[in-house]
Amino acid sequence: MSTPRTDRLTLTRPDDWHLHLRDGAMLRDVLPDTARQMARAIVMPNLVPPVVTTADAAAYRERILAALPEGARFEPLMTLYLTEATAPDEILRAKDSGFVHGVKLYPANATTNSHAGVADLRRVHAVLEAMQRVDLPLLVHGEVTDPDVDVFDREAVFIERHLDRLVRDFPALRVVLEHVTTREGAQFVLDAPATVAGTLTAHHLLLNRNAIFAGGLRPHHYCLPVLKRELHRQALVKAAISGGGKFFLGTDSAPHPKHAKESSCGCAGIYTAHAAIELYAEAFDAAGALDRLEGFASHNGPDFYRLPRNTDRIELVREATPVPPVMSKGGQELVPLRAGETVAWRLAG
């Protein structure tokens, strides 16, 4: 007997556990896309200059709230950008604030605006101890920056050289391996203690690295960690639908203007906030696991972050929905994922 096709899907309103909102005019124009579907988001701190103190995070949070469209209900969950100068005291202030929910580790120069990141993990041990003590999660961009390591291997090598050890050295520290892109990454999260979780992007569930080279060089499919081979994509899908609670939705929606991507040295980042939950629905549907979408999108994240689950619901309708070829964001052109094509679902209402 074949399962009947689901054409309407209601689920607890999701949250986005990894989001780039930027600042200023870009913030104003990308925020409504997320606020339309997500109740909350973990907001990444890689602004220029980065969000390094609780006071920076408070000010950024106010700018986000001020940029919300009239009547929108959305809660920004703030993060601090870990540097080698971060003081353990800052962690106590962050925890006490009630609005900082994690501290982000960028290996120095691993990705967009990561120059102020950490070059040597030994220099942040006291800070990690403080985080472990007050129970503030560490969010990790898990890639080595060693130019001798192949760009496609940088996540697996980061786990081998750094993350495995870090998780053993700080057994009570909650750790999120952000935007897991490899079979090794997914397996690491699955095998690790319950303190360790992972976010998965919609684009890494839907695309493999061929998308970067389909008929020519496709800068709008370039992100970090870079898209991987099909076997990795399949491992990520398996992890997403596994139902064990260790993986949750983190779009890593990362707006860059069109001109900055269509360049001789294009920026890393894919914009998916315009159709985030719809794209995840496609990925889960393709795996025959739409029944697992709610756990992944709406339950596992708040459970890990020890926040209440949302109580209202959203409805998705199966209906091919066009995506504009280009969007206007922050006074600039931006090319979203699926530009000029369609997504298979529409958010009702």
> Nearest distance from residue 345's CB to ligand NCD, in Å?
23
Classified as helix, coil or strand, 334 is strand
| Amino acid occupying residue 150 | D
Q: What 3 state SS string does 151-172 have?
A: HHHHHHHHHHHHHHHHHHHCCC
**CB of 111 or CB of 132, closer to Zn ion:** 111
Tokens of 173: 């520290």
| Interface ranges with ligand NCD (CB under 6 A) | 20, 46, 111-112, 141, 223-224, 252, 254, 268-269
**CB of 9 or CB of 224, closer to ligand NCD:** 224
Tokens of 13: 């309103």
**DSSP of 60-111:** HHHHHHHHS-TT---EEEEEEE--TT--HHHHHHHHHHSSEEEEEE-BTTSS
Indicate which of ligand NCD, Zn ion, none lies near residue 268 (CB less than 5 to 8 Å, by partner kind).
ligand NCD
> Nearest distance from residue 141's CB to ligand NCD, in Å?
5
User: What amino acid positions are annotated as catalytic residues?
Assistant: 252
Count Cβ atoms below 10 Å from residue 259 Cβ, excluding itself: 12
> Nearest distance from residue 154's CB to ligand NCD, in Å?
12
Pick the piece of the chain touching Zn ion (CB under 5 A) from 6-14, 249-257, 282-290, 340-348.
249-257
> Nearest distance from residue 143's CB to ligand NCD, in Å?
8
Classified as helix, coil or strand, 37 is coil
**According to the binding rule CB under 5 A, does residue 16 interact with Zn ion?**
no
> Scanning residues 127 to 186, which ones bind Zn ion (CB under 5 A)?
141
> Scanning residues 256 to 295, which ones bind Zn ion (CB under 5 A)?
none
| Interaction site with Zn ion (CB under 5 A) | 111, 141, 252
